[in-house]
Structure formats: C-alpha cells, structure tokens
Amino acid sequence: MYMQINNLYKSFPTRSGELIVLKDINMSIEQGEYICAVGASGSGKSTLLRQIAGLDRPTSGEVRIDGQLITAPGHDRGMIFQHYTLYPWMSVLENAEFGLKLLGVPKKIRREQASYYLSVVGLTSFAQALPKQLSGGMKQRVAIARALASEPKVLLMDEPFGALDIHTKESMHEFMISLWQRTNITIFMITHDVEEAVFLANRIYALGSSPGTVRKEIKIELPERNFAVKRHQIFHDYRDELMELLREHGREATN
C-alpha cells in the first residue's frame, strides 16, 4: 500500500477528561488513487488530515507514506486549504514558486518548475498578475500549482472548494478530475459535501462522529467523470447510501 493509516487514535486532554477525536482509524491507499473522507462536524476530518500532514502527532497508531513513518511535515505531501493562503504582494508566479524557494531550490530551476505547473493549471497568462486580480477558482488553482511544484507524493486537500460559489465549485471539480487523470498523483481530500465526494473520488471513507471512526469504505465506479453522470441512477444510489450512513450515525449519536 502506498499510504497506510494503522490503528490511529487521537485524543486531547480537557478539564472534564480525555476527549477522543479519532478512534481506530485504518485506511489503505494505493498510488494514484483519489480518496475522499466524508463526515459531518465532529468526525475529526481536519484532525485526521493534520496527522497525515505531520502537523500533529497521533496519540497512538501511525501514518506511513511509501513505507516511511510520518512524524513531521515534509515536501512529499502538498497541502491545499479551503482558503487560498496566497501572499497578496507576490505575483502568481512568485506564489507558485514559494514552496520551492523555502526548500532552497535555485531560482532558475524553481521558476521553470513553477511555470510548468502554472501551465498545468491553465494560468500561464496570469503569471505576473497579483492575487487580487484573480477569481476565487483561479486563486485555488494557484494554490494547487504551488503544492504541485514541489512534486509531492500525495496531495492533501482540506475542504478546498467550500468557500467557492456553486458554479466555480463545479468548474473546479471538472478541473480536479482532469488534473488527477493527467498527473496520476495520489489525492486525499476531506469534505462534508457528499455529492462532491461521489463525483471526485474513486473510493470514499464515510466517517462517524464523536469520536471519528470509519463507518464504511465505498468504492465508486461511475460510467463517466463529467457532470452528465449526476443524472445517472448509480450516482444517486452512491449519494443516497452515503447520506443514509451519515444520518444513521447522527441519530445514534443523539440517542
């Protein structure tokens, strides 16, 4: 397995005792897969992503990527957040090459790599523009180009399209499918949007809440990856199964 999460458990001390956020999380992800973890508030989605990113350490259990134990952030993992985190005083190209600059990559090489990935995300003509001149979807594509420029093994995405309007979000969904198919990069994304997960992922982990646990793993097999597929019964069936899983757990949690 390319990325392995084994018996992951995360808790935090509180005044009223131990707060368990993640419990017995096990996931196996192959190279080149597009995986979504779907859950409501309280399912520990962001906490899980922080463990994979190396921004936080599990209470017990482990995360391994390509056999290597994850104990800290590294350039083998690119991170995309919901908010674009672009530097407003830097050009699009300067933002795209910033991660490489931090890694000490020589200017000529980092400029070439950043320029290449700007072409991959379709923003070559905006290389000298400032972030304020871009739409929300374009800003997110700059953030993706910046993450890809370091050529990570895994792209981690934290509800990356949650701040976008519906039309921009749909455009970004199509863009992500195209990007994934062209680059064959491994993507691990968290979201609360069930339809988004079904459209993008080839496998979904449905998470329960309080504490976060894996309720079910669902393999998504759609006849095509464009918006026409949303009219297919199979798309509705996957969506309804996931919605019912999340509703069931919500009912259990309140009983």
204: which strand partners?
36, 218
In 93-202, the DSSP E strands lie at: 154-158, 186-191
C-alpha span between 129 and 113 (Å, rounded) = 18
Domain ranges of the chain: 3-76+155-254, 83-151
**Which residues make Cβ contacts (< 8 Å) with residue 65, sequence separation at least 6?**
2, 3, 52, 76, 77, 153, 154
Q: What is the pLDDT of residues 118-172, one digit of tens each?
A: 998 999 999 999 999 999 889 989 999 999 998 899 999 999 888 788 888 888 8
Of 26, 11, 2, nearest to 205 (Cα)? 26
Whats the size of the chain, residue-wise?
255
- Side chain identity at 210, as an amino acid letter? S
Q: What is the pLDDT of residues 176-223, one digit of tens each?
A: 999 898 888 999 999 999 999 999 999 999 999 889 999 999 999 998
C-alpha span between 118 and 144 (Å, rounded) = 9
**pLDDT for the residue 254:** 46
List the single range of 218-222, 227-231, 239-243, 247-251 with lowest mean pLDDT: 247-251
Q: What is the pLDDT of residues 44-84, one digit of tens each?
A: 999 999 999 999 999 999 999 999 999 999 889 999 887 77
Tell if the pTM clears 0.85, that is, is over it.
yes
**pLDDT for the residue 1:** 57
C-alpha span between 96 and 52 (Å, rounded) = 23
Kindly report the CATH class assigned to 3-76+155-254: alpha beta
